[in-house]
Amino acid sequence: MRKPHALCLPFPTQGHITPMLHLAKLLHSRGFHITFVNTEFNHHRLIKSAALDPTAQMDGFMFERIPDGLPAQEINATQSIPELCASVTKNCSAPLRQLVMRLNGERGAGGPPVNLMVRDAVMICGQKVADDLNIPDVVLWTMSTYTMMGFFQFEELVRRGYTPFTDATQFSNGYLNTPVDWIPSMPDICLKDLPTFFRTTDPNDIMLNLCIQIAHSLPKLSAIIINTLDELEHEIIHATATSFNFKGPSYAVGPIYQLLQIQLPQSQLHSTIKSNSNLWEEEMGCLDWLDRFDPASVVYVNFGSITVLTPEQVKEFAWGLANCNHPFVWVIRPDLVSGESAVLPPSFVDQTRERSLLAGWVPQKQVLGHPSIGAFLTHCGWNSMLESICSGVPMLCWPFFADQVTNCRNACQLWRVGLEMESKVRRDEVEGVVREMMEGEKGKQVKQKVGELKVSARKAIEMGGSSHSSFEKLVNDLRVMKR
Ligand code: UDX
């Protein structure tokens, strides 16, 4: 049988690169040749953060790069998501095609011919290349299945006249509380619970139209791999599989990072494969700092890799955390705050010195796994949410945009593993909700619930568990998959 060669193409942001890299490592461990394609921009960031050693070589696992089509930018800056989406959609097909031609023309040096595209759903550019090569086009959906169902309603929202908005007042909560009652397995939801990219007055909005394009690309896919677990999303996984014209198989194999941990312990990895996907350098010292605190006593605050806060929001979070009197670790990426006044009030730093640690980027999974962490104030990115559940840490949910509002709704109302915060940040609310989580009755309830889900998630990735079995089937199917 010919060795499979998968071209792995993530959407170029942290929350998408990480699960794709984990999947690539898993496939490599099962004999797949892997070419992992980063953008030039991220390639340099990975080298700078020491996540990638450009000199390391490894049989059967190669890193390649293509331009993202955007003007050169300072390496620590957050790229605008709509601009990035527009640019990769428009500009990445040609360099990707050239890359594949080079790999296939290198007579062995590039490995066996590329015969499988494994791409992020957002990387529509990969579909064109898979079509040209007549190879299977497989999508890794890095977000939740509820989110997938939500994204795929956008055309219906347009058809029913919910979007584009006719005036700016519709961005406010009143309108966003409009019930949405036609989506299978998503009862009792409102417009505000759907991924935010439909919120526009512009019929030509990049994100609205890209989401519709992604939904259209679905029926042609050879397979969908979802970074989720059946135990969390059973009904919606089933509903999604039967709701669209998609005829191919879908595989719920998450949390992929846990599957990787159990199948490929770090100690067994070659240095290239060890490379992580951090676009920022990890500050490991925070783990020692956490050792000094009692179990479940510290609040961990992190808004992921692309959230940008206003100086006002930072100030309100800061004073809320200062006033709640619990110790906390707060990750403030160098590009977290918009504008120039990215400084925390000096009196806040003075007042919380003994019980706070501010860091630029931390090893999040290890932090969440540390016994002293009692709660996670999160923007509800899907990776963060899975990591929190797998560590049994309850969440304080402050969704920023995109799929995060859907994740927040599910965490707080469906799975009951989180407490929701208002979108307008107010110090007294921050203080109140932290206290409720750490000291109150509601906190106790969500802690118990997240503990139960942690156990289910662990079972899912162990031998015979839902994600484990799904992954075994995926590997077998991919080996023989034809277009
Ligand atoms: C984005 C979207 O916002 C998210 O909703 C979507 O599901 C994926 O793409 P991001 O905002 O970065 O991702 O959030 P998240 O999905 O939580 O991913 C962040 C990743 O970076 C996590 O795996 C987290 O562990 C890691 N991280 C973050 C660190 O390792 N250290 C940090 O200090 C911060």
Question: 294-349: per-residue pLDDT in tens?
Answer: 999 999 999 999 999 999 999 999 999 999 999 999 999 988 987 655 578 889 98
The kind and range of the H/E element at 64 are strand 61-66
Tell me what percent of the chain is helix, strand and coil, each rounded to the nearest 5. Answer: 50, 15, 35
- In one-letter notation, the amino acid at residue 211 is C
Annotated catalytic residue: which of 120, 193, 230, 335?
A: 120
- Ligand 1 pocket, residue 255 CB under 6 Å: no
- Closest C-alpha residue for ligand 1 atom 15: 381
> What is residue 337's three-state secondary structure?
strand
For the Cβ of 364 lying below 6 angstroms from any atom of ligand 1, the answer is yes
What residue owns the CA closest to ligand 1's atom 4? 381
How distant is the alpha carbon of residue 412 from its chain centre?
18
The average confidence (pLDDT) of the chain is 93
Q: Nearest residue CA, atom 11 of ligand 1? A: 304
In angstroms, the CA 212 to CA 198 distance is 10
Atom 20 in ligand 1: residue holding the nearest Cα:
15
Whether the bond between 164 and the residue before it is cis, its omega within 30 degrees of 0, is yes
State which ligand 1 atom lies nearest to the alpha carbon of 382.
7
**Ligand 1 binding pocket includes 10 (Cβ within 6 Å):** no
Q: Amino acid letter at 195?
A: P
Query: For residue 401, how far is its CA from the centre of ligand 1 (angstroms)?
Result: 13
The sign of the dihedral angle between the CA atoms of 403, 471, 452, 296 is negative
Ligand 1 in contact with 382 (CB < 6 A)? Answer: yes
- State the pLDDT at residue 57: 72
- Residue 338, exposed/middle/buried by CB under 10 A (0-12, 13-18, 19+)? middle
* Ligand 1 closest atom vs CA 361: 33
Q: How far is the CA of 384 from the centre of ligand 1 (A)?
A: 6
- Which residue puts its alpha carbon closest to atom 3 of ligand 1? 381
Nearest Cα to 139, choosing from 220, 210, 236? 220
Distance of CA 351 to the CA centre of its chain: 34
The Cα diameter of the chain in Å comes to 67
Q: What is the pLDDT of residue 2?
A: 73
Query: For 52-69, how does the pLDDT look when each residue is reduced to its tens digit (9 = 90+)?
Result: 887 777 789 999 999 999
Rg (CA), the chain: 22
Q: Can you read off the two tokens belonging to residue 307?
A: 């959230």
The Å distance, Cα 13 to ligand 1 centre, comes to: 9
CA of 66 to the centre of ligand 1 (A): 23
Establish whether 16 is a catalytic residue. Answer: yes
Residue nearest to atom 8 of ligand 1 (CA): 15
Find the 192 Cα to ligand 1 centroid distance in Å.
21
Low-confidence ranges of the chain (pLDDT < 70): 1, 107-110, 266-274, 339-342
Cβ of 352 closer than 6 Å to ligand 1, yes or no, is: no
ipTM: 0.99
Q: Which amino acid is at 329?
A: V
Distance 307 CA to ligand 1 centre (A): 9
pLDDT at 389: 98
Pick the residue whose CA is nearest to atom 27 on ligand 1.
Answer: 364
What pLDDT, on a 0 to 100 scale, did the predictor assign at position 335? 87
* Pocket of ligand 1 contains residue 163 by CB under 6 Å: no
Q: Which of 227, 305, 406, 407 to mutate to test the pocket of ligand 1 (most atoms within 8 A of CB)?
A: 305
What per-residue confidence (pLDDT) applies to 67?
Answer: 95
16 in ligand 1 pocket by Cβ < 6 Å? yes
Catalytic residue, from 5, 16, 43, 326: name it.
16
Q: What is this structure's pTM? A: 0.97
C-alpha to C-alpha distances, 448 to 392, 410, 420, nearest whole angstrom: 9, 16, 17
State both tokens at 10.
């993530």
Residue 232 tokens, joined = 């969390």
The predicted structure's pLDDT at residue 75: 74
Tokens found for residue 316: 């309100």
Strand partners for 226: 141, 252
402 lines ligand 1 (CB under 6 A): yes
302 within ligand 1 shell (Cβ under 6 A): yes
Q: Which residue lies with its CA nearest to atom 12 of ligand 1?
A: 305
Pocket lining: 361 vs ligand 1, CB cutoff 6 Å? yes
